[in-house]
Homo-oligomer: A and B are copies of this chain.
Amino acid sequence: MKFNGRNISVSPDALIGENVRIGDNAVIYAGVRIGDDSIICNDVTLGEPLNAYYSDDAYVNPPTILGPGALIRSHSIIYAGCTIGAGFSSGHHCVIRENAVFGDHCSIGTMTDIEGEVQIGDYCRLHSNVHIAQTCSIGNYVWFYPFSVMTNDPYPPSIDIRGGHVGDYTQVAVHAIILPGVEVGENCLIGANAVVSKTVPSFSLAMGDPASVVMDLRNYIVMGKGRPYPWMRRFDRGMPWEGIGFENWLNQQPAKAERA
């Protein structure tokens, strides 16, 4: 019932792959390229034009690349200039601004808001209502939980913005704030409501406002559960090591094995 071809608008300058379904009321602008086997649900907008579209008669929409196997849920908007890898999925009412880059196999939850010029790696999971400010970057296998935010302006308002970075495998809990330009290492856990104002070394549990490192996560023991972190040895759903084990998978990844 979603794919009736009702009230759809697809630019003749969009490239639609094989076996792509497009929901009713969707709008696909010029320059969009949708990978094979993708599902674009109702009321989705792909390739939303930049501001110059409204004022410049010579405006040309930059290319928007959506990899194969995407599932874009209804009412989401992806701007022109974005490059999104394979297997991407979004919740509803999401917005991804221009020139954002996602690697492969990422997902974002309902109402998540990715500002422009953001760089996100592979296999990241951003839940509902996450906000990532312009020029921030995120590694691979990183999770953000609801209302967590990366910011970019140390002396607001300014034009001197500096997005921070969150390293591979790190978990950023609900309502946590990464302040402008801050580097968070790999394999960290940023606690709920933490306000991270300075560098967090890899393998840290950081909590509080302002956040401080309270523990090396590798020493964290939960009664009856052992050591929950690093989490990759106990969780694999949707990850590339699913079913084969993190160690086995890692041993097949020579470049990554060096730093793990």
Contact = CB atoms under 8 A, between A and B. Distances in A.
Nearest to A239: B157
Contacts of A146: 113, 131, 133, 149, 151
Main DSSP-derived SS at the A contact region: loop
Given A9-B6, A48-B74, A175 B157 contact: no
Contact of A193 (B49, B77, B115, B209): B209
Contacts of A71: 54
Interface stretch (A22-30, A98-106, A244-252): A22-30
Give the oligomeric copy count. 3
A234 interface: yes
Given A77-B75, A129-B113, A231 B157 contact: yes
Interface of A: 1-2, 4, 6-7, 9, 11, 21, 24-25, 27, 29-30, 39, 42-43, 45, 48-49, 53-54, 71, 74-75, 77, 91-93, 95, 110-111, 113, 115, 125, 128-129, 131, 133, 143, 145-147, 149, 151, 153, 155-159, 171, 173-175, 177, 179, 189, 192-193, 195, 208-209, 222, 225, 228-229, 231, 234-235, 237
27 contacts: A1-B27, A1-B29, A1-B30, A1-B49, A2-B53, A6-B9, A7-B7, A54-B71, A75-B75, A77-B92, A93-B95, A95-B111, A113-B128, A129-B129, A129-B131, A131-B146, A133-B146, A143-B157, A145-B153, A151-B192, A156-B189, A156-B231, A159-B235, A177-B193, A179-B192, A193-B193, A193-B209
